[in-house]
Structure 1
Amino acid sequence: MDANGKSIALAALRNDTLRNAAVGVALAVGVVGVAAPGMFTGMAGFLAERGVHPHAPNLALIAAAPPAVRIHLTAAVTSLIIGIALMARVKGTNLHKVLGWTWVAAMGVTAVSSLFIRQLNHGHFSFIHLLSGWAIVGLPGAVYAIKRGNVRGHRRAMTAMFVGGLLIAGLFALIPGRLLWTVFLG
């Protein structure tokens, strides 16, 4: 087997491990849900006591948001969906490369558009904009790494941007008072 075949086999093994972990988590949640159903129904009461009322998404709020917010949200959701697909699939294939370039473009739009969203800090940048700067600098660095054959550096940079720039920043988007909080929970 050549080096490329070996790296594809190792990537497939990592993907199997990732899938197995996801199945394990889903089974654990299912077991807890069956074994302790009151835990989930009790959560609704717990949230309601704190003024949190989950509801169907109010998409009219997104439609009424400024263009920068709508562009940012569209690019972030696109990045999230493509990123999940990239994490779950074999690396190094032509599909990975096409999706990867699309992800880089969507993440770039996500990062740059966030620079125009400053309503929460009275027109100034906030600490979350550091993630935008990190993505703006990190995306070209990660592409440069893979072009130079540095697979490990590329993987680490892209995974870090996916986790930090999408998942962690996405959690900040659900802080009370922010648009996504209001769309889903407020």
Structure 2
Amino acid sequence: METIPPVIVVHALAAGYVLLLGPLQILRRRRDLAHRLLGITWVAAMLAVCVSSFWIRPDGFSWLHGLSTWTLVCMVVAIGAIRAGHVALHRGFMIGSYLGTLAAFAFAAFVPTGLIPQLLRSEPLVMTATALGVAGVVLVAHLVAVRAAARRPVPSLRRAGS
């Protein structure tokens, strides 16, 4: 296997973070400081996934790039919605973004000629260590956010003056 370009490494690590943190954010209680702190890291990772995807074009632009564009729009709408106090709209766009990322991952993982299956065949230990490392980062981020939230009152999700 040849060297993997840095943009693909960034894309894969950020996508792993998004995929592993997503269920924790969706299933845990909302509107606390931990959810907000983890949400900020999740959005940052999602932005890294989307932006990096535009430099990954083995066959030109594809529907996956369209999904990245749509996801960027969804992030803006979701953040605007929660700042305006529209929790249901925020939740819908965030869960939809997560499901879109899950669909893109499934496509990338199950196409036999894709990089993920190739790496699983040629470098299973590297893939396993990377997945475990990302899971560890998610776990540490979750523990740090929960501990920080336990020490502070819940901040208002609305901007001052709104």
TM over 0.5, yes or no? yes
Provide Cα deviations, 1:57-109, integer angstroms capped at 9, x if missing partner: xxxx5x82111100100100011121121012111110000000110000000
Query: What is aligned with 1:170?
Result: 105
Query: What is aligned with 1:130?
Result: 66
Task: Choose which of 131, 144, 154 in structure 1 pairs with 2:90.
Answer: 154
The CA deviation at 1:185 is 4.9
Aligned partners of 1:127, 1:167: CA distance in 2, in Å? 14
Does the residue aligned with 1:128 lie in a helix, a strand or coil? helix
Q: TM-score, normalised by structure 2?
A: 0.71
Query: What is aligned with 1:112?
Result: 51
2:3 is the counterpart of 1:68: no
Aligned partners of 2:63, 2:99: CA distance in 1, in Å? 17
Q: Report sequence identity in percent.
A: 36
Structure 1 residue identity aligned to 2:72:
I
Query: What is aligned with 2:29?
Result: 90
Task: Choose which of 106, 120, 132 in structure 2 pairs with 1:184.
Answer: 120
Provide Cα deviations, 1:9-30, integer angstroms capped at 9, x if missing partner: xxxxxxxxxxxxxxxxxxxxxx
The CA deviation at 1:140 is 1.2
Q: Which has the larger radius of gyration?
A: 1
Provide Cα deviations, 1:134-185, integer angstroms capped at 9, x if missing partner: 1111101100000001111000000000001x21000111111110011225
Aligned partners of 2:11, 2:43: CA distance in 1, in Å? 14
Provide Cα deviations, 1:99-139, integer angstroms capped at 9, x if missing partner: 001100000000000010001x1xx2111111100111110
Query: What is aligned with 1:102?
Result: 41
Aligned partners of 2:117, 2:65: CA distance in 1, in Å? 19
Aligned partners of 1:151, 1:142: CA distance in 2, in Å? 9
Query: What is aligned with 1:80?
Result: 19
Q: Tell me, which stretches of 5 or more residues in structure 1 are unaligned?
A: 1-60
CA RMSD of aligned residues (A): 1.4
Task: Between the two structures, name the one with larger relative contact order (CA 8 Å, sep ≥ 6).
Answer: 2
Runs ≥4 residues deviating over 3 A: none
Does the residue aligned with 2:56 lie in a helix, a strand or coil? coil
The 5-angstrom pairing of residues 8-47 of structure 1 reads: none
